[in-house]
Copies of this chain bind each other. A is one copy, B any other.
Amino acid sequence: MSSTRPSFRNPDIQPNEAGYSRRDYEGLISTLCAGCGHDSITSAIIQACFELALPPHRIAKLSGIGCSSKTPAYFLAKSHGFNSVHGRMPAIATGANMANRDLIYLGVSGDGDTASIGMGQFVHVVRRNLNMVYIVMNNGCYGLTKGQYSATADKGSRSRKGAVNLLESIDLCEMAIQLGAGFVGRSFSGDKEQLVPLLKAALSHHGLSFLDVISPCVTFNNNPESTKSYHWVREHREESSGLDFVPFRQTINTSYSEGATEAITLHDESVIYLHKPKAGPSITDRRMAIDTLEDHKAKGRLLTGVLYINPDSQDTHDLLNTCQKPLNSLGKDELCPGAAVLAAINEAYR
């Protein structure tokens, strides 16, 4: 389908351009339920990082608490990871990113972790446009505490026990777009074809990339009346546009425009090519993006793919005007004004 997808047939054997094999991006064996959507996302993350040839140790994995938040243990065993507390991944990510702007930050959260207890932090990390990838593994329920509805459960959705959810559902993508995220996408754990390039594009974007990935909980929320079930998503999904992602090293030598209806160049000169069914509204128009989302919702359809990109977004460091050198690498000479200055300061207080 996509001309850019690497053709390695046996990725475990053939290394990527940085010399890492796919196995170098794997993690511990998952302890999640067999069939859990989260495991598929885990493997898409592995694939995306492998394909992008990211050095694993330059990635930091962060998460909150929940089945979803356990996944960082199951990918990228060569990356430092931080499984923090419930709903507070964004704060940890913000601090970590402030300390070292040179690493890649990959945050994983759940819909409970983000849309309930973590709502405040979600809103504000988006608003600050922190340079990170923020993935919500969205199953509409609290997996780890055994299946309570979460705030992303759709109104009218039915749980395994038959209870109908009457509360409004929170659309995290729409919120993220509204709040100024630079990159927003939605996908489905069951569709690696879409998820992998989406992840790659998100990893290359400068600023906050938010990905809402519907990820069925087979144990507690996979009955067909649940809008977060494999069945429902497969039936109601629509793709915004086909997506090719061409990382910056390749863009220099290649032109991949055939058939693409829109090409968006990111900060690092990677390019996203979109293949839309018809030449629709541009994905870089914030209001259009929201409108398109709402349109699909009104029709009872779930729109997936890249939903919005602002290729020029400024991240938190840009906004704070911090130096290019990672703050955690500054030496005492760069940090401490010294005794002589202190004498002058003392003087000013006499």
Contacts and interface: CB of A to CB of B under 8 A. Distances in A.
A159 to B, nearest CB: 15
Contact of A287 (B116, B120, B123, B294): B294
Contacts of A120: 116-120
A191 interface: no
A96 interface: no
A112 interface: no
A319 B294 CA distance: 24
Interface residues of A, number: 28
A16 interface: no
Copy count, this protein chain = 2
B167 A319 contact: yes
Nearest to A117: B120
A127 B170 contact: yes
A178 interface: yes
A77 interface: no
Nearest to A178: B174
Interface string A282-297: 0000010011001000
Contacts of A298: 287
A237 interface: no
A303 interface: no
Nearest to A180: B168
A119 B118 CA distance: 10
Interface in A289-325: 290-291, 294, 298, 314, 319
Contacts of A116: 120, 124
A120 B123 CA distance: 9
A175 interface: yes
Nearest to A298: B287
A123 B127 contact: no
Contact of A167 (B128, B166, B178): B128
Contacts of A124: 116, 119, 151
A171 interface: yes
20 contacts: A118-B120, A119-B119, A119-B124, A123-B123, A123-B170, A124-B151, A127-B151, A127-B167, A127-B170, A166-B319, A167-B319, A168-B179, A168-B180, A170-B179, A175-B175, A175-B178, A178-B178, A287-B291, A287-B294, A290-B294
Interface in A39-57: none
Contacts of A166: 314, 319
Interface in A230-259: none
A92 B206 CA distance: 40
A252 to B, nearest CB: 32
Nearest to A181: B168
Contacts of A118: 120
Nearest to A127: B168
Contacts of A290: 290, 294
A166 B313 CA distance: 12
A117, A287, A298, A314: most-surrounded residue (chain B CB, <10 A): A287
Nearest to A165: B319
Contacts of A167: 127-128, 319
A210 B166 CA distance: 20
